[in-house]
Amino acid sequence: MSHVSHTYTDSDFMIFFARDIDFTFIRRVKVSYPFQSEEREFTLTKENQFKILVAGNNYDKNQPFVYDLQFQTANGNYIKKEIEATLAINFIYNPFTPGCAQFLPMGLTGKNPPVKEIQLDYYHEEKGPGWTLTGESRQVKLNLENAACTVNYPVVDPREAVVVYEGAIIRSDGRIKTIQKTNSNQGIIPLGIDVDWNSLEISAERVEWQTFKKVNVFLYTKDDKGAETNMGLLSFSANSGPRYWGYLNFGSPTDYYWRSAYYIEDYLDPCKTPEKEDYSQVLLLPQQPS
């Protein structure tokens, strides 16, 4: 990692202050950094929301101060690495924003509704390099009297967060349709007898990030005439976790297609891959375009 010139050299101390952090969800924030060939760390909590470091005792003011953050929550730990302090006073902000999704049951209403009840187990999940946040598993029964379910959850990056769900659709005639375990990053999640959400996880962990700066992936399905439908564009960098893409499927499962562009520099022409057809639920991007 390249470092800019630090500007705190005239100060004999540095202060780290937890600002606007909800210590109900975030239990503590651990700050770690190297000093004199060893790992140093301190923790910020609801009771102790700031830390003063003294030059010479806690850090070398003539060297760049690079630190990692670990936000420890009931859902797991979110890690943010290689932050450079350039000021004597450093504010640590809440990295989480509200996320929301709603299950939309279909077939519960009407004169002769085909669906009696939809039973679900669900939780939210978000992954990044070296960290995973997993929410508490919950259950819900959707029926005519309770036809709505909203999932609220904290999220760092909406592109990397999903609601994971599975369950069963109880038909009015007693037959049961199983809902297989599915990931969805959509705000509205439809559920019904003849409607399925096909979800795909795309990972760029195998990409040679020493060579490439960015990878764009274009995903789509095709209709009976070969026209591209359900199109989605995802962008990855070295610090990206898995991304998610999906589409509604009416009837039998449908294969999807994808092509990608690998950028050595942001503004140079990328190296492109040809169209590829796939059906797996996890797509691992190759090290290099081929």
**Which CA distances in Å does 105 have to 114, 125, 188, 209, 230?**
12, 22, 10, 42, 21
DSSP characters over 226-243: S-EEEEEEEEE-TT---E
Region 201-229: mean pLDDT is: 90
**Predicted confidence (pLDDT) at residue 155 exceeds the cutoff of 70:** yes
pLDDT digits (tens, 9 = 90+) for 52-84: 999 999 999 888 999 999 999 999 999 999 999
| Within this chain, domains 13-93 and 97-194 share the same CATH topology | yes
Give the amino acid at 5: S
Question: CA neighbours within 13 Å on the CB side: how many for 192?
Answer: 16
- Say how far apart CA 264 and CA 166 lie, in whole Å: 40
3-state class (DSSP) for residue 290: coil
3-state class (DSSP) for residue 244: strand
Region 13-26: mean pLDDT is: 92
**Predicted confidence (pLDDT) at residue 35 exceeds the cutoff of 90:** yes
**Predicted confidence (pLDDT) at residue 3 exceeds the cutoff of 60:** no
**Predicted confidence (pLDDT) at residue 266 exceeds the cutoff of 70:** no
**Predicted confidence (pLDDT) at residue 202 exceeds the cutoff of 60:** yes
| Average pLDDT, rounded, for the chain | 89
Among 196, 206, 204, 285, residue whose Cα is nearest residue 246 = 196
β-pairing verdict for 214-222 and 196-203: unpaired
Region 102-131: mean pLDDT is: 91
Could you tell me if 265 and 209 are in contact, meaning their C-beta atoms sit under 8 angstroms apart? Answer: no
Q: For 13-93, CATH number?
A: 2.60.40
- Say how far apart CA 289 and CA 227 lie, in whole Å: 24
What residue segments make up the domains of the chain, in order of their start? 13-93, 97-194, 202-284
Q: Is 206 left (phi over 0), alpha (psi -120 to 50) or beta?
A: alpha
β-pairing verdict for 161-171 and 176-184: antiparallel
pLDDT of residue 173: 93
pLDDT of residue 2: 45
Region 229-256: mean pLDDT is: 83
Could you tell me if 102 and 151 are in contact, meaning their C-beta atoms sit under 8 angstroms apart? Answer: yes
5 versus 187: which is more confidently predicted? Answer: 187
- Say how far apart CA 44 and CA 88 lie, in whole Å: 17
> What confidence tier does 1 reach under pLDDT thresholds 50, 70, 90?
very low
3-state class (DSSP) for residue 91: strand
Could you tell me if 73 and 25 are in contact, meaning their C-beta atoms sit under 8 angstroms apart? Answer: yes
In CATH terms, the fold of domain 97-194 is: Immunoglobulin-like (2.60.40)
Region 262-284: mean pLDDT is: 87
Q: For 202-284, CATH number?
A: 2.60.40
